[in-house]
Chain A
């Protein structure tokens, strides 16, 4: 037995208008930049009722920020928790709803099998980036600050009641953010397609998300006024989110979470740049699935050649998006040198090899293989081991 779950999704132009059909007290969870830039107002103006805005969400949000927001929610007593933002604000909003309804639960204790109470508070998630898919998944990722570690968990009560996927919310996304969030979405779609938990309910979704991203992501990144491309990429990110909710993220995320936790580069870059390497490596366990996925993306080659073509296709996409196809290149952009990478390699390997995403791999790579993967991805060497 397994599950596929989804929020009710309002998508496309004017999806925000759906909010006008709801009434009550709305507790908005977001970050201060989105408030300042006016993005939050685009959604809030459709809310009918009393509104309280918590704008304290930080990048790589911590367990503590969830508790801070819950404390504010307690005095406000909302009917709805509304997450507006990229993955960070949406994840915090998810945490807020579940902890608000379960005051004695420590957010670190949320495991997939934790018993929780449902007290009727509804969760609405409105993404302002096209990437994390958090609006459509039952996953939450929070950072344990003192351990430099991201901890991912899933729980049915983490799933939103409503996801509002309106391209208006991402129209003014800076190009660079559009690039790395889009790469996150692609990593979800590919990881979920080859996961040990892949299933009939997510396979088609993954294929469609990949098709949309390969076709529209470069266009959407280059020109935010390209309405078709922006909307299709926005849909793709939500689709990929639905897929990981049931099939889970995989190896690109084991590496990606580890890199994000230790070296703090954007999550989508960390996962997306690792994808060519994790794809080649993991094809030893999931050759047939990669071959199938490659076929649906128009690749005629078979077996290992199909994998190589798929790797090439991902690298071409990275090049089209002006993203280096190796970690060394991206680290340089964030002031992280070779020495810092190698100094942290041991920790990167350990954190990746014990990341919760390894649980849904067909086989857990050895630490030795993780180390090689990091080095190959760093140096930009083809995986040949």
Chain B
């Protein structure tokens, strides 16, 4: 089982996105890459970062990022480690998670509000990756 936010995990996530036809259709005109950030809390010492390039319904590439200042992604989605765990377990609804500030999303919101379904499906793809924390 790949470890959460390892290179292997990110590749499995990219595979899950690319296998998701519903996502492909909902995000068919989407252009914008993402930086995912796991913030440290009691269970995690250092932050973790992953970069995913999303373009026209597909994930073109994804990799672990050591130094976030080296990437300039259009969107950034971040939350604490414990909340990511709950998100992957389906215990937090991604939209409610954002509204209640368990997660934050930065970037062009006018874009996101047009592709809310795609964003939700993207988060759901994380649930399809078997994950070791």
A residues bordering B, Cβ < 8 Å? 1-3, 106, 108-114, 149, 151, 153-154, 196-197, 353-356, 358-360, 364, 366-367
Q: Is B100 an interface residue (CB 8 A)?
A: yes
Q: Which residues of B contact A364 (CB under 8 A)?
A: 22, 117
Q: Given known contacts A111-B113, A154-B99, what 18 new A-B pairs fall within 8 Å (CB)?
A: A1-B100, A108-B113, A111-B105, A111-B109, A112-B95, A113-B98, A113-B99, A113-B101, A114-B109, A196-B93, A197-B93, A353-B117, A354-B116, A354-B118, A356-B113, A356-B116, A359-B116, A367-B25
Q: Which residues of B contact A110 (CB under 8 A)?
A: 109, 113
Q: Which residues of A contact B108 (CB under 8 A)?
A: 109
Q: Are A113 and B115 in contact (CB under 8 A)?
A: no
Q: Which residues of B contact A112 (CB under 8 A)?
A: 95, 98-99
Q: Would you mind naming 17 contact pairs between A and B with Cβ atoms under 8 Å apart? A: A2-B96, A108-B110, A108-B113, A109-B108, A109-B110, A110-B109, A111-B112, A112-B95, A113-B99, A114-B109, A151-B114, A196-B93, A197-B96, A353-B117, A356-B113, A358-B117, A359-B117
List the A residue with the shortest CB-CB distance to B110. A108
**How far is it, in angstroms, between the C-alpha of A135 and the C-alpha of B93 when the chains are bound?**
26
Q: Are B113 and A353 in contact (CB under 8 A)?
A: no
- The contact of A113 among B93, B105, B118, by CB within 8 Å, is B105
Q: Which residues of A contact B98 (CB under 8 A)?
A: 111-113
**How far is it, in angstroms, between the C-alpha of A330 and the C-alpha of B96 when the chains are bound?**
36
List the A residue with the shortest CB-CB distance to B124. A364
Q: Which 7 A-B pairs have the closest CB atoms?
A: A108-B110, A109-B109, A111-B109, A113-B98, A112-B99, A356-B116, A354-B117
A86 to chain B, nearest CB (A): 23
Q: Which residues of A contact B99 (CB under 8 A)?
A: 112-113, 154
- The contact of B104 among A106, A113, A197, A360, by CB within 8 Å, is A113
Scan residues 7-28 of chain B and give those whose CB is less than 8 A from a CB of chain A. 22, 25-26
**How far is it, in angstroms, between the C-alpha of A256 and the C-alpha of B98 when the chains are bound?**
26
B residues bordering A, Cβ < 8 Å? 22, 25-26, 93, 95-96, 98-101, 104-105, 108-110, 112-118, 120
**How far is it, in angstroms, between the C-alpha of A149 and the C-alpha of B105 when the chains are bound?**
24
Given known A109-B109, A113-B105, A366-B22, contact A2–B117 (CB-CB < 8 A): no
B108 to chain A, nearest CB (A): 8
**How far is it, in angstroms, between the C-alpha of A366 and the C-alpha of B121 when the chains are bound?**
13
A142 to chain B, nearest CB (A): 10
List the B residue with the shortest CB-CB distance to A151. B113
**How far is it, in angstroms, between the C-alpha of A21 and the C-alpha of B109 when the chains are bound?**
39
Q: Are B115 and A354 in contact (CB under 8 A)?
A: yes
Q: Which residues of B contact A149 (CB under 8 A)?
A: 114
Q: Which residues of B contact A113 (CB under 8 A)?
A: 98-99, 101, 104-105
**How far is it, in angstroms, between the C-alpha of A355 and the C-alpha of B26 when the chains are bound?**
10
B124 to chain A, nearest CB (A): 10
B21 to chain A, nearest CB (A): 9
Q: Which residues of B contact A106 (CB under 8 A)?
A: 110
Q: Are B120 and A359 in contact (CB under 8 A)?
A: yes
Q: Which residues of A contact B96 (CB under 8 A)?
A: 1-2, 197
**How far is it, in angstroms, between the C-alpha of A151 and the C-alpha of B26 when the chains are bound?**
15
Q: Which residues of A contact B110 (CB under 8 A)?
A: 106, 108-109
**How far is it, in angstroms, between the C-alpha of A127 and the C-alpha of B110 when the chains are bound?**
28
**How far is it, in angstroms, between the C-alpha of A194 and the C-alpha of B120 when the chains are bound?**
20
Q: Which residues of B contact A360 (CB under 8 A)?
A: 95
Q: Which residues of B contact A354 (CB under 8 A)?
A: 26, 114-118
**How far is it, in angstroms, between the C-alpha of A2 and the C-alpha of B116 when the chains are bound?**
19
Q: Which of B96, B101, B112, B113 has the most CB of A within 10 A?
A: B113
**How far is it, in angstroms, between the C-alpha of A364 and the C-alpha of B26 when the chains are bound?**
11
A256 to chain B, nearest CB (A): 16
B16 to chain A, nearest CB (A): 17
**How far is it, in angstroms, between the C-alpha of A353 and the C-alpha of B121 when the chains are bound?**
12
Q: Which residues of A contact B117 (CB under 8 A)?
A: 353-356, 358-359, 364
**How far is it, in angstroms, between the C-alpha of A112 and the C-alpha of B95 when the chains are bound?**
8
**How far is it, in angstroms, between the C-alpha of A321 and the C-alpha of B59 when the chains are bound?**
50
B66 to chain A, nearest CB (A): 28
B15 to chain A, nearest CB (A): 21
List the B residue with the shortest CB-CB distance to A254. B117
A360 to chain B, nearest CB (A): 8
**How far is it, in angstroms, between the C-alpha of A196 and the C-alpha of B104 when the chains are bound?**
22
Given known A112-B95, A358-B117, A359-B120, contact A353–B26 (CB-CB < 8 A): yes
**How far is it, in angstroms, between the C-alpha of A112 and the C-alpha of B100 when the chains are bound?**
9
List the B residue with the shortest CB-CB distance to A367. B25
